[in-house]
Structure 1
Amino acid sequence: MRTAYSVETVRAAERALMARLPEGALMQRAAAGLAAACADLLGRVYGSRVVLLVGSGDNGGDALYAGARLARRGAGVTAVLLTPERAHAGGLRALRRAGGTVVATDSAEALIERADLVVDGIVGIGGKGGLRPEAERLAGTVTASRAAVVAVDLPSGVDADTGEVRGAALRADLTVTFGTYKPGLLVDPAREYAGVVRLVDIGLEPAAGAAELEALQHADVARLLPVPVAESDKYRRGVVGIAAGSARYPGAAVLAVSGALRGGAGAVRYVGPAAQAVVARFPETLVSDAGPARAGRVQAWVVGPGAGDDAATVAEVLGTDVPVLLDADGLRLAERDAVRGRAAPTLMTPHAGEAAALLGVRREEVEGARLAAVRELAAVYRATVLLKGSTTLVAGFEGGAVRANATGTPWLATAGSGDVLSGLAGSLLAAGLSAVDAGSAGAYLHGLAGRFAAAGSPTGAHDVASHIPKAWRDVQATAR
C-alpha cells in the first residue's frame, strides 16, 4: 500500500531523523537518490546537458547536490538561481567544486532549449499557490523544450497536502519524492503534473496512524476480495439487491446487474421496470415486481442507476437496515436526512458534477479541490463517499485516511461505466466488505477491467463488465 502524509507530519519526521544523524546527512541521502533517478532517465550521463532550476532552501539544495553528483560523472550541469541570495550555500559549493556552473535567470532560456534534462528544484513541499512570474516564464520555456523534466519532491506550483493547482505549475516526466508520498502526488489535478513518481527511502518514520491518503495495490485488494469456502452457498456468499432502471433507461439496470454478478456475491435480486431486459441478458438474476420490501432477503442494496424520478423506491431502500450503495439518480432523489439518519452503512458514488450539485458549488470547484470535496461530502451526509474521476477517492465520514485509486483509463469515460461500478461495489458490500473497502476494491477492479477492455482503444460498459473476472484473477495471481 502506498501511504501519503501531510507536510506537517513529514516535517516532524524529518526533524526527528535529523536529530539522530550527522549534519547534512539527510540531504545527502535525498540528493543521492535524486541523482540516481536522473541518471536512469538520461541513460548516458557523460556528455549530457543538465539544467537545474534552483529556488531557495532545502529543495534547491537537493537539486544542487544532485547536480554535483551528475557533474562528477561527466554531465555538463548549469544551475539557474531564481533567488541567488537565498540559494543553498553548501549545495552551491559542491556544484562548483564538481565543475558545474551557475547563472542568473536571464541566461536560462537558451540553456533550457539545449538541455537534455531539467531538474525542477524551484519550490518544495511547503509551497502554496502557483508559480511566481519569473518561475512561470521558465516553466513555459521548459514546456516548449525537448528536455526531460525531473521534479524534486513534487512539481513546483502544486499543493503537497491537497493536490490543488492554484495557478501555473511545472509539469514533470518524473517526480522523485523523499521518505514518503505526499497527498498531492496521488490526487488530481496535481497528479497529472507529477508524471511517474519514484519514492526514495531516506529513513523517515512518520507517526503511526497519521497517513492522510492511502493507495491500494494488488496485494491489498487481494486480501479484501471474498473467496468462497467448501461450505459456501449462494446465500451465505451474500445477496445483493439492485433497484435500478426505468422505462427510459432499462440499460442502466442491465449494466448494474452485470457488475453485480461479477462482484463476489452469491446471487443478485433485481426489482424495477427493466426485469424483462435483465432476465433476457442475465437469466440467473432473481427478479421481483413487488418492490424492495418484498423482493426477499438481501445483504446490501444498490439503488439509483437509471431510476429517473422514482423517489419512492430510493426512499424505501434507504429505509432498510442493510448497507446501501446510492448512485446516479438516487443521489439526486435521496433526502439528506434520510441518508444521515441511517444506522447501516451508506456508500455514495457521485462523479464531480453530482458532487457539486450535492454540495451546492460549481463543478470546477470540486474538480480543483477533490480531496476537500470528498471529505466534505462524507461529513455532510455521514456516509462513505466514492468520488469518481481520473483518480477515484473514497472517504469515510469518521475521518481517517482517504483512499485514492488510479487504476483506470480515460476510456472509462463512457456511458454506463458507472452503473457497472455500482453493481460491482454493491456486490462487495453484500459479500461483507465495509463501505470503504467495497468502494476501494470496487474502484480498483473496475479501473483495471477498464484497462483490459480498452487496451488503448474505445470500449463500452459491457466490455468493462466482461473483463472484471480477468481483473480479479490478475489481482489474485500477482498477490500470490
Structure 2
Amino acid sequence: MSRAYHVEAIRAAERPLIEAATAAGDPDAVMRRAAAGVAHHTAELLRSRTGGVYGRSVLLIVGSGDNGGDALYAGAVLRGRGCRVDAVVLAPDRVHDRGLAALRRAGGRIHHAEALGSPVPVPDVAVDGVVGLAGAGPLRAPAAGIVESLATAGVPWVAVDLPSGVDADTGTVHEPHVPAAVTVTFGLLRRAHLLASPVCGRVEVVDIGLPGQPAGPGTLVGPSRPEVGRSWPVPGPDDDKYSQGVVAIRAGSDRYPGAAVLCASAAVAATSGMVRYVGSGGDAVLAARPEVVCHPTVADAGRAQAWVVGPGAGNGTATVSDIDAVLSAGRPTVLDADALTCLAAHPVLFRSATAPVLLTPHAGEFDRLTGGWDRADRPGALRRYVAGLRDRGVEATVLLKGRVTLVDDGETTWSVDAGSSWAATAGSGDVLSGMVGALLANGMGAGGAAAWPAVAAATAHGEASRIAALRTGGAGAPIGASDLLAALPSAISALRGA
C-alpha cells in the first residue's frame, strides 16, 4: 500500500535533513539530490518520446522557492548530458540564485518572462518548477499562458513535486494547471498524488534520505493490486456455500428491474458464496442468474451475513420500511442509490443500525445526505460527515464514488484510482454495491468492518471497467454496466495474479 501525507508532515520530515546539510556547509545538498531525480526522469521521458537525450531540448518554467531551485539544478544536469536547456524565470528577484548560477555555468540559457518578446521555444519536454507545496489556486500570468501554449502544442510535462495549479493537501485541480505526464516527488507522497492522480501522470518518488513516516490523522492510504488480490476470497478445501458468506439483496423494482439483475449478478461473480434476492425483479434475476435464491419479502429472506439495499428499489414507504427492517437485523449493510435518498429524507433510520453500515454515494447523493458539501475538499468533507455519524453512534463507513474513489471509516481515508473513467456509465454503481455486499458477507472485513471490502471492490470494479473497455485490443471503447460485469472474473483473476 502507499501512504500520502499532509504538507506539514512532509516539511517536518524534511527539516532535519535540510538543517544537517546547512550545518555541514552545503545547504543545497538535499536539493541537488532531488534535482538529480528530476533530471533522471526527464531524461527517461525524453528517451521514450524522442528516442534519445543528447541534442534534445528541455524548457524549464522556474518560479520562486525550492521547486524553482530543483528545476534549475536539474537543468544543469541535463545540460551536462547534452540537452539544450532554456529556463524561463518568472520572478527574477526571487529566483534560487545558486541553482540559477549552476545552470549558467553548465551553459543553459536564461530568459526573463517579463522580457520575452516572442512565444517561448517549443521544447521536446517542459519541466514545471513554478510553485511547490505552498502553492494554492490556479496558475497566474505569465505562467498560465506559457503552460497553455505548450500544452496546446502537445509538449509533455515533468512536474517537480506537484503539478502547478493543484492543491497539495486537498487535491483540488484548478484551471489552468500543468497537465503532467510525469510527476517527480521526494521521499514521501503528497496527498494530491492520490487525490489528483489523473493530472499527476506517472508519479515517481526519489529517495532523498527521508526516514519512513508513520500514518497520521491526515494520511491517505492507497491500496496495491497485490494486496487486493491476496485478500480476495476464493474457496478453500473445507468451504461450502454457507461458509463463504450469504448476502441478501433488496434491489430493483417494476420500473428498474435491471438494477436487481446487475446487483445480484455482481454479488454472484464476486465470491463463491450464496446470494438471496428480495424484490419484484425475481424473474429477471433468475433468468440471468438461476443460482440466486429469491424471496418475496425481507422477512422471508432467511439468514444472511450481509445485506445490500437500494439500487433501483424506489424511495417510497415500502423501501423505507425495508431499510428499517434490515438495519434492525444487526447485519453489516450496504446502502446505495434509492436507499441513500430515503436516508437523506429520513435520517432517523440511522437509529435502527446496530451493525456496520456502508454508504456508497456518488457526488449528487452525497450532496443530499449532507445538505451541501465542499467539493474543493473531498476528503475533508467526507471525514467530517463520517465523524458526525460516528458521534451519533452509527458505525458508518462511506465510499464516495468518482474517478478517484474515497473510502473513509472515521480513522483511515483510502484513495482508489480506477485508472480511467470507463466506469462512468449507468448501472455501474449497482454492480459495485453487489460486489461489496458479497465481500462483506464473506467476512473479508474483520468484525464486519466495511472499509477494506469497499476498497477491494472499488479496485476490482475499476480493473473490470478497464478490461471491458479494452476488450477489442484497441484504444478503448465506451462500455455499459453489463460489459463491466462480464469482465469482473477477468479482473479478479488479474488482481490475484498481480
What's 1:439 paired with?
454
Aligned residues: 470
What's 2:95 paired with?
87
Structure 1 residues 180-329: aligned runs within 5 Å? 180-187=188-195, 190-210=196-216, 212-264=219-271, 266-289=273-296, 291-309=297-315, 310-329=319-338
- List gaps (5 residues or longer) in structure 1: none
Which of the residues 489, 493, 496 maps onto 1:469?
Answer: 489
What's 2:342 paired with?
333
Which of the residues 356, 361, 369 maps onto 1:358?
Answer: 369
Structure 2 counterpart of 1:276, one-letter code: D
Q: Deviations over 1:340-389 (max 9, x none)?
A: 66231111111111111212227xx53x4322232233223332111111
Structure 1 residues 13-412: aligned runs within 5 Å? 13-21=13-21, 22=24, 23=26, 24-43=28-47, 44-108=52-116, 110=118, 112-187=120-195, 190-210=196-216, 212-264=219-271, 266-289=273-296, 291-309=297-315, 310-334=319-343, 335-339=346-350, 342-361=353-372, 365-366=374-375, 368-382=376-390, 383-397=396-410, 399-400=411-412, 402-412=413-423
Structure 2 counterpart of 1:245, one-letter code: G
Question: Does structure 1 retain, via aligned residues, the 8 Å contact 2:328–2:352?
Answer: no
TM-score by length of 1: 0.93
The Cα shift of 1:37 comes to 0.5
3-state secondary structure, aligned to 2:59: strand
What's 2:466 paired with?
451
Question: Does structure 2 retain, via aligned residues, the 8 Å contact 1:339–1:346?
Answer: no
Q: Distance in 2 between matches of 1:445 and 1:146?
A: 32
TM-score by length of 2: 0.90
Cα 1:452–1:125, aligned 2, differ >3 Å: closer, same or farther?
same
Question: Does structure 1 retain, via aligned residues, the 8 Å contact 2:324–2:352?
Answer: no
Structure 2 counterpart of 1:26, one-letter code: V
The Cα shift of 1:34 comes to 0.3
Q: Distance in 2 between matches of 1:18 and 1:378?
A: 38
Q: Distance in 2 between matches of 1:381 and 1:86?
A: 47
Stretch deviating more after TM superposition (296-305 or 206-215): 206-215
Question: Does structure 1 retain, via aligned residues, the 8 Å contact 2:197–2:417?
Answer: no
Question: Does structure 2 retain, via aligned residues, the 8 Å contact 1:3–1:215?
Answer: yes
What's 1:426 paired with?
437
The Cα shift of 1:164 comes to 0.9
The Cα shift of 1:339 comes to 2.6
The Cα shift of 1:26 comes to 1.3
The Cα shift of 1:191 comes to 2.9
3-state secondary structure, aligned to 1:230: coil
The Cα shift of 1:166 comes to 4.3
Q: Deviations over 1:427-476 (max 9, x none)?
A: 00111123100110000001101111111112221221122111111111
Question: Does structure 2 retain, via aligned residues, the 8 Å contact 1:10–1:206?
Answer: no
3-state secondary structure, aligned to 2:110: strand
Question: Does structure 2 retain, via aligned residues, the 8 Å contact 1:149–1:174?
Answer: yes
Q: Work out the percentage of aligned pairs sharing the same amino acid.
A: 47
Stretch deviating more after TM superposition (368-377 or 148-157): 368-377
Cα 1:108–1:179, aligned 2, differ >3 Å: closer, same or farther?
farther
CA RMSD of aligned residues (A): 1.8
The Cα shift of 1:108 comes to 4.7
Question: Does structure 1 retain, via aligned residues, the 8 Å contact 2:6–2:219?
Answer: yes
3-state secondary structure, aligned to 1:162: coil
What's 2:12 paired with?
12
Q: Deviations over 1:192-247 (max 9, x none)?
A: 32222222222222531226211111111023212322221111111001011111
What's 2:393 paired with?
none
Q: Distance in 2 between matches of 1:224 and 1:271?
A: 29
3-state secondary structure, aligned to 1:466: helix
Q: Distance in 1 between matches of 2:333 and 2:360?
A: 11
Structure 1 counterpart of 2:248, one-letter code: G
The Cα shift of 1:250 comes to 1.0
Structure 2 counterpart of 1:435, one-letter code: A
Q: Distance in 2 between matches of 1:304 and 1:209?
A: 35
Q: Distance in 2 between matches of 1:183 and 1:196?
A: 15
Stretch deviating more after TM superposition (139-148 or 109-118): 109-118
Cα 1:259–1:462, aligned 2, differ >3 Å: closer, same or farther?
same
Structure 2 counterpart of 1:386, one-letter code: L
Structure 1 counterpart of 2:371, one-letter code: G
The Cα shift of 1:107 comes to 4.7
Q: Deviations over 1:276-305 (max 9, x none)?
A: 11112111111111x223311101000000
Q: Distance in 2 between matches of 1:261 and 1:31?
A: 51
3-state secondary structure, aligned to 1:197: strand
Q: Distance in 2 between matches of 1:477 and 1:149?
A: 33
Structure 1 counterpart of 2:397, one-letter code: T
Q: Distance in 2 between matches of 1:127 and 1:109?
A: 27
Question: Does structure 1 retain, via aligned residues, the 8 Å contact 2:252–2:260?
Answer: yes
Cα 1:209–1:109, aligned 2, differ >3 Å: closer, same or farther?
farther
The Cα shift of 1:167 comes to 4.7
The Cα shift of 1:106 comes to 3.2
Question: Does structure 1 retain, via aligned residues, the 8 Å contact 2:406–2:415?
Answer: yes
Q: Distance in 1 between matches of 2:211 and 2:170?
A: 21
Question: Does structure 1 retain, via aligned residues, the 8 Å contact 2:235–2:272?
Answer: no
The Cα shift of 1:42 comes to 0.9
Q: Distance in 1 between matches of 2:419 and 2:273?
A: 26
Q: Distance in 2 between matches of 1:109 and 1:390?
A: 41
